[in-house]
Structure 1
Amino acid sequence: MDTVRSGRPDVVDVAATAEHTHVDGVARAGGGPAFPDHHPGDGTLVATIEQTSPALLEHAVAGAVAAQPAWAATAPHERARILRTAADLVDRDAERLVALVALDNGKTLAEARGDVAVAAAHLRSAAAWAPLLEGATLPADGTSLRMTFREPVGVVAAVVPFNATLMFAAQKAGPALAAGNAMVLKAPELSPLAAPELAALLVEAGLPAGLLQVVQGAGDVGHALVTHPAVAMVSFTGSTAVGQQVMRDAADGCKRVLLELGGKSANIVFADADLDAAVHAAVGGVFRNAGQRCFAGSRLLVADSVADEVVDRIVAIAEGIRVGDPFDPDAQLGCVISPDHEHRILAMTAAAAAQGARVLTGGARPPGVHPGGAFVAPTVLDVPDDLPAVPDIVREEVFGPVLTVQRFRSPEQAVALANDTPFGLVGGCWTRDVELALGTARAVRSGYFWINSYGALALDAPIGGVGASGVGRELGRIGHEAYTELKTVVIDTAPHRQPRWY
């Protein structure tokens, strides 16, 4: 495995300001306790963030409540125009945003460019849906006219994860704003810088103040936001454990919840697959973004007859991946989000080895990386099928560059292995047999499934999970309608003909 290092270019100066809460169209100091934001590539301090104080959080929610009715009354085409303009501004500032994402999150420049491009695409997609959130006219019975309307829910609380903060902020804010809502968004504590930048660009694009508020802090800020009585809906992306707490917090106010949670997704390779395509997609499916993706293909299930060839090829590729400084253009895999997360990943890998899994490559920090950075080498674990118990790592989300490999001897066994987890976010399979492919897609318990590809999300198709992977769907028509309330209106055209109840 190659390692690369390069000095970080001084391209983003964010440490000079303490104003990372964005309320009523203005960047502000949070007013609460300060916490550090470190670059995970070398551990250096990037910025000192003030947590949003309870008083400022209350002000942020009140501002969203005050701004939302006028926005709901704004013509959908005008909302769309503002969102398109914001997307153009993201494109204008792309290189600065790319550097900010890499600095804050530790992903490579190439991956950061992807995040920025997808953020702009989310805003444009939301703009396209703004005038298309239609109701319906229902069949009449001769005495009434029945119809439905899509109306905004009001104020939406959003909580986004550290692994793609700018992208997820756009993915949530775009549809919510397109539907006429206001949003108060909590930035992730480990990656706090991108969300307020998006809010500033939306204000520059013409979004009225108060419609996208960004607050900072840890779980107590999220709890205060989710439980606020003025919040009508919670849109959360993150771990299953926190998502379960969000559901409990939202229950008291009977708030609508949209939850995209963890995953432990199976990528199934049948014996007749195009093995070259399957191998390269499997590598990208688990190692991209250092494995810090909810839909990572972290479980490879491969037919026994081709398993040795597939695994040998994956290991060879993994050992050649260039790991290093996110700002080095030659780096293919950057760092994980923090030293604590690095230690957790390595501890899980060591525990799996102790339970009988064989470490084929990785399982440690890669050589030559910055000593202050948080890095994990691309790791492949072979899980024999004769172990007394399946290692915990096969069912638990690692959120790092770790692939487990299990062999199967029949399609039925492959499906059983794929479903042997509480998660159900995504999955995939590789085969030239259409009947086998579609049968597997239907049998695997997941909300999204690829056939002969893995990892590319279509922005016009809904995504979400089942079981421990969440509630509801984002993206596509369903994902945009999730931010609306459906109201039925009945007009009685002949009230004098209605029978009297008495």
Structure 2
Amino acid sequence: MTTDLSEPIAVADLPAAHSFVAGALRGGGGPVFTTCHPADGSPLAEVESATDELVDEAVAGALAAQPAWARTSPHERARVLRTAADLIEAQARRLVHLIALDNGKTLAEARGDVFVAAAHLRAAAGWAATLEGVTLPADGSTLRMTFREPVGVVAAVIPFNTTFMFAAQKAGPALAAGNAIVIKAPELSPLAAPVFAGILTAAGLPDGLLQVLQGAGEVGRRLVGHPGVSMVSFTGSTPVGRQVMTAAADGMKRVLLELGGKSANIVYADANLDAALHATVGGVFRNAGQRCFSGSRLLVEEPVADEFVARVVEVARSIRVGDPFAPDTQLGALISAREADRVLTMIGTAVDQGARILAGGDRPPGVHPGGAFVAPTVLEIPAGLTPAPGIVYDEVFGPVLTVQRFDGMDEAVALANDSPYGLVGGCWTRDLDRALGTARAVRSGYFWINSYGALALDAPIGGVGLSGVGRELGRVGHEAYTELKTVIVDTAAADAPPWY
């Protein structure tokens, strides 16, 4: 890719083509859609959706390139990933501006995406040569062993909220294990993924091993259901996750799904309230609340509820919302005006159902009239309100925090588990027994104690219930992109009597 990424990007500098196939940017050949900057609604680019023929070409190219890559030394695969990580960091300033344009998040948040993407690639490089099988106990004349082998071609469907980072989170493990990968970019933030692919190509990745396709759901369905695809890795909403499972079922493809969440952040009365305050606010309002593991349900123990909720409300009201490129902006735009309207409608419905607005609940003042902004919102759910407003159970994917009060650990756990989701959770307490007891009792795939929101790249993450299937990151997450094969060697086959 020839685009210079050393300086901040301007709209005029954006590429004219947005799919990435056979090592080069390509037009999709299909229907055109306009992608806009979320902070003011201005058009950024006209993007061509991938035709069925381009999907077929991308998968065919991946199938052709993958066997040689699988035979490549894992140390060479690791070298390519580390080189790509170096290139990402060297081009960080330009990439940060691209992501802020594409997504509407603040420069600080975009910078985090860039450097976490580089960290993902380095972590994947570390696993390339260390994904190992085992030798099983010998039995007479047989030797038994297992091998980790690539699955083949991986289809990855990634979300709009952290597109660049998720491209790395999917591509790193897939490529480290010897697979090829075809990414379907999100329609609402299509610009970052092909740039990511270009960087991998510049780092020495052979053509065909990382491809990017553009378009809406029909392109994703075509890719996920393609007979040349062996595995599907999807991050996104639970309703779309169901569609992915359906599309993958016909070919019995392996699926890895990280889906929605409605996660509880529990504050006990003995907690360090200063630390809990900062993490609670960051856990729900960062990235404009557009995170699957957002701590969108605050459960606070009655003795400290008045004090702690008042402090949360004070901070929420003070958050600076506006232009993502302004250095003092703390919360940027949602991905689109449609999403902002959907969130505001959910807030209004919750109020009609009995919730009380303590902060926000509308568009913040002073923002661009064409921007997709929602003020940081805190909603208190009155005790005994039956049924509870739907917003307590439904993922908002916006800057909205619901507050519920509880008495004692049993009620806290009951409230936390009163959800069809089970992605993450957290609690704050100085009592180790209570902390571990809560962590074990809350039904989730990931849980923080006295922190909230920081992911460890060496620890697996994933959900239960409507929050998904499988795990990403860590050894388990990297092994998910491999097939486990058992090989048995019989050293005395000639001495065995005939079966008859």
Q: TM-score, normalised by structure 2?
A: 0.98
Aligned-partner SS, 2:53:
helix
User: Does 2:183 match 1:185?
Assistant: yes
Which residue does the alignment assign to 1:314?
A: 312
Which residue does the alignment assign to 1:294?
A: 292
Q: Is the 8 A contact 2:256 2:470 kept in 1?
A: yes
**1:455 Cα deviation from its structure 2 partner:** 0.1
Q: Paired residue for 1:123, among 121, 132, 135?
A: 121
Count of paired positions: 494
User: Does 2:385 match 1:392?
Assistant: no
Q: Paired residue for 1:486, among 481, 484, 487?
A: 484
Which residue does the alignment assign to 1:325?
A: 323
Structure 1 residues 268 and 14 mapped into 2: Cα distance closer, same or farther (>3 Å)?
Answer: farther
Which residue does the alignment assign to 1:342?
A: 340
Q: Paired residue for 2:238, among 240, 265, 275?
A: 240
Which residue does the alignment assign to 1:6?
A: none
In 1, Cα distance between equivalents of 2:140 and 2:444: 44
In 2, Cα distance between equivalents of 1:453 and 1:349: 27
Q: Is the 8 A contact 1:18 1:50 kept in 2?
A: no
**1:463 Cα deviation from its structure 2 partner:** 0.4
In 2, Cα distance between equivalents of 1:486 and 1:478: 12
1:38-95 C-alpha deviation (Å, 9 max, x unpaired): 0000000011101111111111110000000000000000000000000000011101
**1:407 Cα deviation from its structure 2 partner:** 0.5
Q: Is the 8 A contact 2:75 2:128 kept in 1?
A: yes
In 2, Cα distance between equivalents of 1:181 and 1:41: 37
Which residue does the alignment assign to 1:64?
A: 62
In 1, Cα distance between equivalents of 2:497 and 2:117: 56
1:163-200 C-alpha deviation (Å, 9 max, x unpaired): 00000000000000000000010000000001000100
Aligned-partner SS, 1:450:
strand
Show structure 1 runs of 5+ residues with no match: 1-8
Structure 1 residues 297 and 249 mapped into 2: Cα distance closer, same or farther (>3 Å)?
Answer: same
- Counting aligned pairs with the same residue, the percent is 72
Q: Is the 8 A contact 1:15 1:47 kept in 2?
A: no
Which residue does the alignment assign to 1:76?
A: 74
**Amino acid corresponding to residue 351 of structure 1 in structure 2:** T
Which residue does the alignment assign to 1:379?
A: 377
Which residue does the alignment assign to 1:32?
A: 30
Which residue does the alignment assign to 1:198?
A: 196
**1:14 Cα deviation from its structure 2 partner:** 5.5
1:9-37 C-alpha deviation (Å, 9 max, x unpaired): 97334565431000010101111111001
Q: Is the 8 A contact 1:268 1:301 kept in 2?
A: yes
Aligned-partner SS, 2:86:
helix
1:86-135 C-alpha deviation (Å, 9 max, x unpaired): 00000111011000000000000000000000000000000111000101
Q: Paired residue for 2:101, among 66, 78, 103?
A: 103
In 2, Cα distance between equivalents of 1:152 and 1:32: 32
Aligned-partner SS, 2:138:
coil
In 1, Cα distance between equivalents of 2:8 and 2:23: 27
Which residue does the alignment assign to 2:221?
A: 223
In 2, Cα distance between equivalents of 1:386 and 1:435: 29
Which residue does the alignment assign to 2:279?
A: 281
Q: Is the 8 A contact 2:8 2:97 kept in 1?
A: no
In 2, Cα distance between equivalents of 1:496 and 1:17: 65
**Amino acid corresponding to residue 338 of structure 1 in structure 2:** S
Aligned-partner SS, 1:423:
coil
In 2, Cα distance between equivalents of 1:501 and 1:452: 63
Which residue does the alignment assign to 2:4?
A: none
Structure 1 residues 499 and 355 mapped into 2: Cα distance closer, same or farther (>3 Å)?
Answer: farther
**Amino acid corresponding to residue 278 of structure 1 in structure 2:** A
In 2, Cα distance between equivalents of 1:408 and 1:384: 11
Which residue does the alignment assign to 2:161?
A: 163
**1:143 Cα deviation from its structure 2 partner:** 1.5
Structure 1 residues 76 and 10 mapped into 2: Cα distance closer, same or farther (>3 Å)?
Answer: closer
**1:497 Cα deviation from its structure 2 partner:** 4.4
In 1, Cα distance between equivalents of 2:199 and 2:61: 18
Q: TM-score, normalised by structure 1?
A: 0.97
Which residue does the alignment assign to 2:3?
A: none
Aligned-partner SS, 1:236:
strand
Q: Is the 8 A contact 1:15 1:48 kept in 2?
A: no
Q: Is the 8 A contact 1:290 1:335 kept in 2?
A: yes
In 1, Cα distance between equivalents of 2:315 and 2:385: 27
In 2, Cα distance between equivalents of 1:500 and 1:307: 77
- Large movers: runs of 4+ above 2 Å: 9-18, 496-502
User: Does 2:477 match 1:463?
Assistant: no
Which residue does the alignment assign to 2:439?
A: 441
Q: Is the 8 A contact 1:37 1:192 kept in 2?
A: yes
In 2, Cα distance between equivalents of 1:410 and 1:458: 30
Alpha carbon RMSD of aligned pairs, Å?
1.0
**Amino acid corresponding to residue 70 of structure 2 in structure 1:** A
Aligned-partner SS, 2:139:
coil
Q: Paired residue for 2:111, among 88, 99, 113?
A: 113
